Amino acid sequence: MIHSVKFTCVLDTNVIYPLEVRDLLFWFAHYELYTPKWSSEIFDEWKKVMERKGLPHAEIAKRIEKANKAFPDALVRNYESLIASLHLPDERDCHVLAAAIKTNAQVIVTNNLKDFPPEILEQYGITAKNADDFLTDIIDLNHEMALEAFQKMVLNRKNPELDQYQVLDALRKNGLIETANYLHALL
């Protein structure tokens, strides 16, 4: 059940890269609605995506450092030995599953659900959810705290500053349609 920091999930690169998605995931974690986890390989992939998008190296380093400082216990260590024994449709995703197994995560949050078949994950007591489903589950279980986290995220938003309705539109544009609609209904 998703209800507190006792609920652990591994965030895949494709939910960490889009700024709006990452911000909401991180603010929900900051409000202890769940505990985020990631591997160095996930962050290496994130770094490569930011490089491909043309972000300056200083900005890339700053983003990675901020994430690790905000969640110092999120980095999963010593999972590498599990990778060789795992089999997924895309073998390059085995490190994500290995990190989830190592940290006893309940969920892998990814927008590539086809790469994490339920019949494989259930052997380890893990499910995969896309970011929109994951975030709506969290909101469903704690409306007040989720809304507070969202509003705090909006207040801290800079460059550009956006109001809560503009942020909701940005979330929708980044695939968080149900999440944005749910938050909008709570306003």
Instruction: Please state the domain extents for the chain.
Output: 8-134
Determine phi and psi for 7, rounding to 5 degrees.
-85, 120
Q: Residue 87 corresponds to which amino acid? A: H
- CB-CB contact of 128 with 118 (8 Å): yes
* Three-state DSSP state, 30: helix
Token readout for 157 is 């938003």
Instruction: Note down pLDDT in tens along the chain; length 187 residues.
Output: 444 557 899 999 999 999 999 999 999 999 999 999 999 999 999 999 999 999 999 999 999 999 999 999 999 999 999 999 999 999 999 999 999 999 999 999 999 999 999 999 999 999 999 999 999 999 999 999 999 999 999 999 887 889 999 999 999 999 999 999 999 999 9
Q: What is the pTM of this model?
A: 0.94
* Residue 2: predicted pLDDT: 46
The domain made up of 8-134 is a member of CATH 3.40.47.10: no
Helix ranges (H only) for the chain are 13-16, 19-30, 40-52, 57-70, 80-83, 94-102, 118-121, 131-141, 143-156, 164-173, 177-186
Residue 88 burial class via C-beta count within 10 angstroms: exposed 0-12, middle 13-18, buried 19 and up? middle
